[in-house]
Chain A
Amino acid sequence: MQIAKKNNTKTTIDKIKQFLNGLPPLTWVVVALFIIFGLISPEFYLVDNLVNMVRRGSTLWILATMATLLLISGGLDLSLGAVLTFSGVVMAIMLRAGYGPLISSLAGILSGTLIGALNGLLVSTLGIPAFIVTLGTMNVFAGLAVAMSETSAIFIDNFTMKFIGAGAIAGIPVPVWVSIIIFVLSYVIFHHTSFGRYIVAIGENKLGAHLSGVNTGFYTFLVFAYASTMAGIAGVVLASRIQSADPRVGVGWEFDAVAASIMGGTLRGSGKSGITTTIVGVLLIVILRNGLNIIQVPVEWRSAVVGVFLLAGIIIDISIRRRES
C-alpha cells in the first residue's frame, strides 16, 4: 500500500501559479473595487483615505481572524461586536475614575475574556448552540455598554491611550501593529500548538477528538475565551483610536467579521486556507464601505448596497467552492 511521496521540484512559475490559484476568488473583486472606486472618485486614492482604511481594517481584521478560528472549530460568536464596544466602555469608565491607562486597558481586555469565558462555558458544558448563546450575550453586553455609559460617548483624554490610538512606530500606526501581532500570534497558535490543532479536530470530528483523549470541552471553551480576549484588545485600541468609548460603535461588526471570514474562504476545508486568507474578506468590506462613502452614495442607500453586496459576495464564494468540490 503506497502513497507516493510528493515531488518537491517546482519551478518559480509553478509556485506563482499555485499561489494565485490558492487565492480566494473574491480577491479579484477586491482589486476591481479598488480600481473602480478610484476611477469614479480619485479622492479614494488620497494617502489620508488609504491610511484611514487601513486603520479601520485593522480592527475588523482582528475580529475576522477570530471569526475564522471560531468557524473552523465549528462555532460562531455573535457577541464579538458587543465585546468591542463593552471593553472600550469599561476602559473609559476606569480611566474616568482615575485609574492609570495600564490598569484600565487590562480591565477592558479582561472584560472581553470574561464574556468569552461565559460563552465558552455555556457552549461547551451545556451544548447550547453557539449561535443562540452569543446572541444572548451580545444583547446583554451591548445593552450594558449603553446603560453604563448612560447612552453617550465617554471621552478619553489620556496620553498613553492617545498614543496607542494615533501614534505610529516605524511608520506603521500602532493599531496596525496590534493587529499584526494578534495575527501572528493566532497563526502560530493555529499551526504550531495543540490548541490550534485541536481547533481543527473539534471542528471536523469532535467525537473522534474526544475519544482520542482531547479535552474537547476545554478547548471549545478556550476558543471563545481567546476570541473575546482579542476582541477586547481590539475594543481598547478602537476606543483609543477614536478617543472615546461610544456605545453605538461596534454594532454589526460581528456580522462584518463573519462575512469577511466567509468571503476569505473559511467555509472551504479548514486546514487548507487556515487563517491567512481572511484578510481578503476584510479588505473587501473596508474598501466597499469606504468607497461608498467617498463616491457619495446617499446614506439611506448605503446599507442596502452593503447588504446586497455582502450577500452577493458570500453567495459567489460559496458557489465557486461548491463547483470546485
Chain B
Amino acid sequence: MAEKNSVKKIGKIKLSSQAMNSLPRLMILLLLSLVLTFLSPYFLTKLNLINVVAMSSIPAIFALGEMLVVLTGNIDLSLGAIFSLGGVVVAALMKYLLVPVPIAILAGMAAGALMGVINGVLMAKVKLPSFIGSYALRVAITGFANAILQGYIVYDFPPAFRFIGVQRLFGIPVPIYFAAAVFFVIWVVLYRTKLGRKIYAVGANPEAARLSGIKNDRVIMTVYIIAGSMAALAGILQTSRINQAHAFLGDPTLLPGIAAVVIGGTSMFGGVGGAFGTIIGALIMNVIQNGLNLLGAPSVWQQTIVGGIILFAVVIDQSVRQATAKRIN
C-alpha cells in the first residue's frame, strides 16, 4: 500500500510537469474560447459548452489512438477508414445478422484491431514507409466497407445502441465517459507501463531501442492495434450519435484527428508528445469547428481551414523547437 501511495505522489509531480508542458496549449484553448465568446453570444452557454466537450469526445478518442502511432515515429492514415469500418461492421452485424448490441460493438472494435494488425504487419514486418502502407490500406478498407454494405447507407439503429451516442448519464453525455475512460487508459499506458517506455524508446531511436532488447515490431504492432480499436470505437460512437453507417463516414475525421495530434504537441519525428496535450488539441480543433459553425462559415471551407490549421500549428511548433535548439547550440 505504501508503494501505491508513493506512486501517486510522484504521479502528482509528474502530472504537473506534463501540465506545465501543456500550459501554452491550454492558454491557446482559453484564448480561442475568449475570442469566440466575444464573437458569438451563444458560445458561452451551458448547452453549447457541454455540446463542445461532448462533440470533442469522439475525435479525442480517435486522436489519442493516432497519437500512439505518431509517438513511435509512424503515421496511420487508415484510421479514417477504420472509423467507417467500425460503424459498418456494427450495422451489418445488427441489421443483417441480428447480433445483440454489446457483442456487435465488441466485434466492431475487433475489426478495428484486426486492421491494426494488418497495418502492423505492413509497417513492422514488410517495413513499408507508414504513410504509403496505411494510405494504401485506407483505400482497401474503404473499398471493403463499401462492399460490405453494397454501397448502401444504414439507418435506424435500435435504441439500445443509440444509448451510447445520444443519451446522458447523470446529465453528462455518454461519449464523454468513453473519452474519459480511453484517456485514463492511454495515460496509464504511456506513463506507468513498460509498453509506454518502449513506445517512447522506439520513437526516439528505433535502432537503440532494438539493440537494448526491445522488440520494435511488437511495440509497433501494439500501437496500431490500439489505434485501430480506438478509431473503430470512435466510429461506432459516431454511428450511434448520427444514426448512420456507411463507408465514407470517417473520411472527414482523419485530417482533424492528425491536426489534433499535431496541435497537441506530438512530434512527427516520434518520441515527443503526450496524452494530455492531445486532448487539448482535440478540444481546440472542436472549438474552432464549433466557432466556424456558429459564425456561419460554409462547410465547403472546412477542409481548407483545417489544412491551414495544421500548417499553422506545425509551423509554430517547429519554430519554437528551432528557437530552443538554437539557444542550446
Using CB atoms and an 8 Å cutoff, list the residues of chain A in contact with chain B.
76, 78, 122, 126-129, 131-133, 135-144, 146-147, 151, 252, 255, 258-259, 262, 299-308, 310-311, 314-315, 318-319, 322
Contacts and interface: CB of A to CB of B under 8 A. Distances in A.
Given A135-B310, A137-B311, A127 B150 contact: no
B105 to A, nearest CB: 24
B22 to A, nearest CB: 20
21 contacts: A128-B315, A129-B268, A129-B269, A131-B268, A133-B311, A135-B258, A135-B310, A137-B307, A141-B304, A141-B307, A147-B304, A151-B300, A299-B151, A303-B140, A303-B142, A304-B140, A304-B147, A307-B137, A308-B140, A314-B128, A318-B126
Nearest to A299: B151
Contacts of A252: 139
B307 A143 contact: yes
- Most central of B255, B298, B300 by chain A CB within 10 Å: B300
A255 B140 CA distance: 13
B39 interface: no
A255 B75 contact: no
Contacts of A315: 122, 126, 128
Contacts of B269: 129
B307 A301 contact: no
A76 B150 CA distance: 35
Given A140-B308, A307-B140, A133 B314 contact: yes
Contact of A131 (B131, B142, B143, B300): B131
A306 B138 CA distance: 11
Given A136-B307, A143-B303, A307-B137, A126 B319 contact: yes
B301 interface: yes
Interface in B12-48: none
B115 to A, nearest CB: 12
B262 interface: yes
A303 B268 contact: no
Nearest to B316: A126
Interface string B104-131: 0000000000000000001000111001
Nearest to A122: B315
Given A132-B258, A136-B308, A318-B127, 12 more contacts: A132-B310, A137-B307, A139-B303, A139-B307, A140-B304, A151-B300, A300-B146, A304-B139, A307-B138, A307-B141, A308-B140, A311-B122
A258 B130 CA distance: 13
Contacts of A136: 307-308, 310-311, 314
A85 to B, nearest CB: 12
A61 B150 CA distance: 33
A303 B308 contact: no
